[in-house]
Amino acid sequence: MTMKVDNIVDDIYRCVDDGAEICEDDMEFFLDFLRSELTTFLNPEERAERKPGLRMSNIGRDKRKLWYDFYHPVPYKLRPEQRIKFFYGHMLEAFLLFMCKVSGHDVRDMQKEVKLNGVTGHIDAIIDDVVVDVKSASSYGFRKFSRAELFSNDPFGYIAQISGYIQALDNEESMERGGFLAIDKQYGTLAFLPIEEMDTIDASKRIDELRDVIASKDVVPERCHAIKMEDNGNERLCTDCSWCDHKHRCWSDSNDGDGLRTFKYSTGYHYLTRVVKEPRVEELL
C-alpha cells in the first residue's frame, strides 16, 4: 500500500519547482540546526570522540571490527577537509528535513532518543508516521538507495540501525515501517528507499550477540570478509577490508607474518596478503 511518505521525493521536487510558503517555525528549525552544527564544528570540546560502546549506529558493524573498536581502538583525527565534508553532509540532511516540512509532510520527533535492549539511539525523524533516516552520500554511495543496492551491500550496517529504531519505536507506537531519504551530494538527486518489516533484522537479538562478542576479550571473532584472488595469483583485501582502520592488525599474519603489503595502483591502494608475482607499481613501506 502506498503511503504519503512514498511520494516524498516528487513532493520535494514539486516544491522546488513551484515554490512554497515558509512558516516561521520551519525556518527557525533550520536556522537552529545550523547554529548548533556550527557551534559543534568550531568547538574542539564539543566534537570530542566518543568512547567505544554499543549504539544503534554500530549494531550493524561486523563483529570482528566491533571487537577491535573496543579492545584496540585506532586513534583517528579527521583532517580539516574531512570535517568540512561531514559538516556540509549534516547541513544537507537538515535541509532535506526542512524541505519535507515545507512540501507538506508531517515531520516530528526529530533526534528523539530511543532505547532497545539497553542500547540508545537517536532517530532523524518520523515522517508521515514512518521512521526515516536521512543520508547524504557520494554518487557511488547514493546508488545503495536509488537502486536498492543496500539490501545486498550494506557495509555500514544501515539496515541494522534502522531495524533498531523501528523495533524500539514499535514498543511505543506500533511502528512497523521505515525508510531512507537520501541525497546525492554532487548532483542533488533525491531517493526514498522504503524498509518493510520483512527487510529488517531482529535488532534486540543482534544486540545480545554483540554483547557476547564484546564480553569475550580473549576471543577474536572470525574475519569479516574473504580475500580476493587476482589473476596472477596474488591475494588482496576486498574493498570493505581495505577501508577498515584495523586492517593492519587484523591481517598481521599475512605474507608469512610480515603483514600487509601496500601497493599504489592508478585505481587506488591494493593491500596484498600474499604476493606470488611482484607488482610493477610503487610499494608503500
Same domain, yes or no, for 136 and 184? yes
Q: Which pLDDT score, from 0 to 100, does residue 1 have?
A: 44
Say how many domains are in the chain: 2
What pLDDT, on a 0 to 100 scale, did the predictor assign at position 243?
A: 92
C-alpha 37/C-alpha 60 separation (Å) is 26
For residues 59-79, one letter each, b for 16 or more C-beta atoms within 10 angstroms of the residue's C-beta and e for the rest, the string is bbbbbbbbbbbeeeeeeeeee
Quick one: 15 and 119 in the same domain? yes
Domain that holds residue 57: 4-212
Q: Sheet containing 282-284: which strands, arranged edge to edge?
A: 228-229, 235-236, 268-274, 261-265, 282-284
> Does the global pTM surpass 0.85?
yes
**Based on the domain organization, do 233 and 207 belong to the same domain?**
no
List per-block mean pLDDT (blocks of 10 residues) for the chain, which spans 285 residues: 81 94 90 89 68 90 95 85 89 94 93 94 94 95 95 93 93 81 96 93 96 95 95 94 95 96 94 96 93
Residues 65 and 24 in one domain: yes
- Domain end, chosen from 164, 179, 212, is at 212
pLDDT at 51: 77
Same domain, 145 and 205: yes
Q: In angstroms, rounded to a whole number, what is the distance separating the alpha carbons of residues 272 and 251?
A: 10
Measured CA to CA, the distance from residue 233 to residue 237 in angstroms comes to 13
Instruction: Report the alpha-carbon distance of residue 272 to residue 257 in Å, rounded.
Output: 13
Q: Is residue 223 part of a domain?
A: no
Q: Where are the alpha helices (DSSP H) in 103-202?
A: 139-146, 158-173
The C-alpha atoms of residue 168 and residue 164 are separated, in whole angstroms, by 6
56, 204, 178, 176 alpha-carbon torsion, rounded to 10°: -150
